Structure 1
Amino acid sequence: MIRHITLGRTDWQRSRRIQEAIVSGQISLGGNRPLKIYGLLSCNSGKRMKMENRVFFRDQQEALSAGYRPCGHCMRDAYRLWKQGRCEDD
């Protein structure tokens, strides 16, 4: 997991490092740290969150192992599966 605010001092530095990490495959998903939700980088819900709450993941396995759940907007199928599994555990 990579926190957005640790990627540089300025917006330009952070933006540049995020692009490099996406191209190199270090980042493929974004998440909201307080809510413990992850989703696609293109998700409108994720684009609206505060920078200090944003984290990045390499893949779904990394996000799930960190205790995050799929976004119900951009990852509907994964969210349904997560919710079914969670309801079965209760």
Structure 2
Amino acid sequence: MRKYTELGRNVFGRLRMLSALIGTGEICLGGNCHLKIYGQLTCASGKRLKPQNRVFFKNEEEALQHGYRPCGHCMPKEYQDWKKERDLQF
């Protein structure tokens, strides 16, 4: 998991590092650290996040290991699967 605020000292540096990490495949998913939700980098909900709340993951397993759940907007199937699994636990 990588926090957006730790990618560089300023906005330009962070965006440059983020672009490089996406290009190399080290970042494939984005998330909200307060709501513990992850989703596609192109998700409209994710694009509205405050920069200090943004985190990034290499894959779904990493996001799930950190206790995040799938976004219901951009990952509806994964969200439904997660919800069913959670309901079985309770």
Alignment TM-score, normalising by the size of structure 1? 0.99
- 2:41 maps to 41
Is residue 5 from structure 1 mapped to residue 35 from structure 2 by the alignment? no
The alignment's C-alpha RMSD in Å is 0.4
Counterparts of 1:45-64 in structure 2, within 5 Å, are 45-64=45-64
- 1:32 maps to 32
- Name stretches of at least 5 consecutive residues in structure 2 with no aligned partner: none
Amino acid at match of 1:22: I
Alpha-carbon distance in structure 2 between the residues aligned to 1:10 and 1:65: 29
- Report the Cα offset of residue 9 of structure 1: 1.3
Is residue 77 from structure 1 mapped to residue 66 from structure 2 by the alignment? no
Is residue 87 from structure 1 mapped to residue 62 from structure 2 by the alignment? no
Runs (4+) of structure 1 exceeding 2 A deviation are: none
Map Cα deviations across residues 23-77 of structure 1 (whole Å, 9 max, x no partner): 1111000000010000000000000010000000000000000000000000000
- The total of aligned residue pairs comes to 90
Alpha-carbon distance in structure 2 between the residues aligned to 1:54 and 1:19: 15
Percent identity of equivalent pairs: 51
- Name stretches of at least 5 consecutive residues in structure 1 with no aligned partner: none
Counterparts of 1:13-28 in structure 2, within 5 Å, are 13-28=13-28
